Amino acid sequence: MTCAGVPTARRTTQLRVMMRYGVAVLSVAAAVIVGLWPPLHLQRATVSLFLCSVMFSAWFGGIGPALLAISLSVLAFDYYYLLPVYSLALKIEEIPRLIMFALSALFVGSLSAAQRRVVESLRRTRDGLDRTVQELELSNEALHTENAERKRAEEALREAQVELAYVSRLTTLGEMTASIAHETNQPLAAVVTNGSACLRWLAGESPNLDEAREAARRVVRDGNRASEVIARIRALLQKTDTQQLPLDINQTVQEVVSLVQNEVERKGATLRLELARDLPLVSGDRVQLQQVILNLVMNGTEAMAAVNDRSRELFICSSQDESANVQVAVRDCGMGIVPENMDKIFNAFYTTKSQGMGMGLAISRSIVESHGGRLWAAPNDGPGVTFQFTLQACGRQE
């Protein structure tokens, strides 16, 4: 089919060329006939007729047919209208007239051919612009589709990250089951003890109301303690959308410490706080930032599990760095991290623990970066590692 199509296209092109040159011949012949037809009395308009035929040929066929029409018009003008008539011979006094006619025809023909080229160029440009506009419209639709797909992918990724962070919280709290039970049992046991004491102070023959009131106040205090512990655990167990609100990072740290204090002590470590005063508020999700601090504290505590030749101290520090960012650091005195693994520890599924999932630090870094901050680790001058993260202060833009 391809081989048969080439000759057909070639014949079509040749036919068009022949038609253009044929139009040039016919237009000059028409000018001669109209100019010599006696009833029309157009002998004095022959120059205009020939120029019209040249213009028509140039416009329809281009420069080639225009040159043919000019040549035929010059010959016809010489043969029919210059002395001697009906002869190609030419008197000397007619030569200027023939030259002027030839120059006029050449000028008109070239002008018409140039105009035709301009019109064709404009048409091609317009067609090209139409194609470009269509391509841009298609590209725009593709970009809209791609943008919609990207937004859906980002939403799916965000939901997956929220789900994964929730699972990580459940896993961490599951590991702290014994400490959580002890944390809640303490105030509840105190409630029972103080309640019994209150009943004894009231059961005597002469009730000791002062002691009974004091015991009742202790019941209320310990009940509130138990309620606060349960509220903090429930907050970490809830799976909610991210809500970035102004919060005090020191208060967030202290809430986590009150939850993990017993777990840290149960593993033979001491938790110390060095929180700077008058820190600006940061914009963040309280539960997510508590999860970051919780992960770092638990990692630091586990890193010191094998330490026997020195005290196991875990420091949590807050400060403001030189860029006015709020910075939180968790420093342990454990066995440290091999330098070549310092960057790998934040990779998903990378872990140095036999029972670890390798997701805690990866999730923590993702949470901090989603808050516009940065999380990194650095070896201490002495034993251990310091994990630090920064958060932008409220109202501050990078």
Helices 249-266 and 209-237, axial angle in degrees (round to 10)? 100
Q: List every span in the chain annotated with CATH 3.30.565.10.
A: 242-398
The mean per-residue pLDDT over the stretch 9-22 comes to 86
pLDDT in tens, 267-300: 888 999 999 988 999 988 888 888 888 888 988 8
Pick the most confident of 204-218, 310-324, 354-368. Answer: 310-324
Q: Which residue has the higher pLDDT, 41 or 52?
A: 52
Q: What is the rounded distance in angstroms from the CA atom of residue 314 to the CA atom of residue 121?
A: 79
Degrees, nearest 5: CA angle 106-109-110: 85
Q: List every span in the chain annotated with CATH 1.10.287.
A: 176-239
The mean per-residue pLDDT over the stretch 44-50 comes to 81
Give residue 1's pLDDT.
Answer: 46
Widest CA span in the chain: 162
pLDDT in tens, 163-221: 656 666 666 555 556 556 655 666 777 777 778 878 877 887 778 888 778 878 888 87
Q: Which two tokens stand for residue 121?
A: 């160029």
Fold annotation for 242-398: Heat Shock Protein 90 (3.30.565)
**If DSSP codes are grouped into helix, strand and coil, which group holds residue 18?**
helix
Fold annotation for 176-239: Helix Hairpins (1.10.287)
Report DSSP letters for 100-134, one per residue: HHHHHHHHHHHHHHHHHHHHHHHHHHHHHHHHHHH
Helices 209-237 and 95-175, axial angle in degrees (round to 10)? 140
pLDDT in tens, 364-375: 888 888 888 999
Q: What is the rounded distance in angstroms from the CA atom of residue 25 to the CA atom of residue 49?
A: 14
Give residue 349's pLDDT.
Answer: 57
pLDDT, mean over the chain: 80
Q: Which two tokens stand for residue 103?
A: 């120059």
pTM of this prediction exceeds 0.85: no
Q: What is the rounded distance in angstroms from the CA atom of residue 65 to the CA atom of residue 20?
A: 6
Query: Which residue is it, tokens 């516009």?
Result: 372
Give residue 273's pLDDT.
Answer: 92
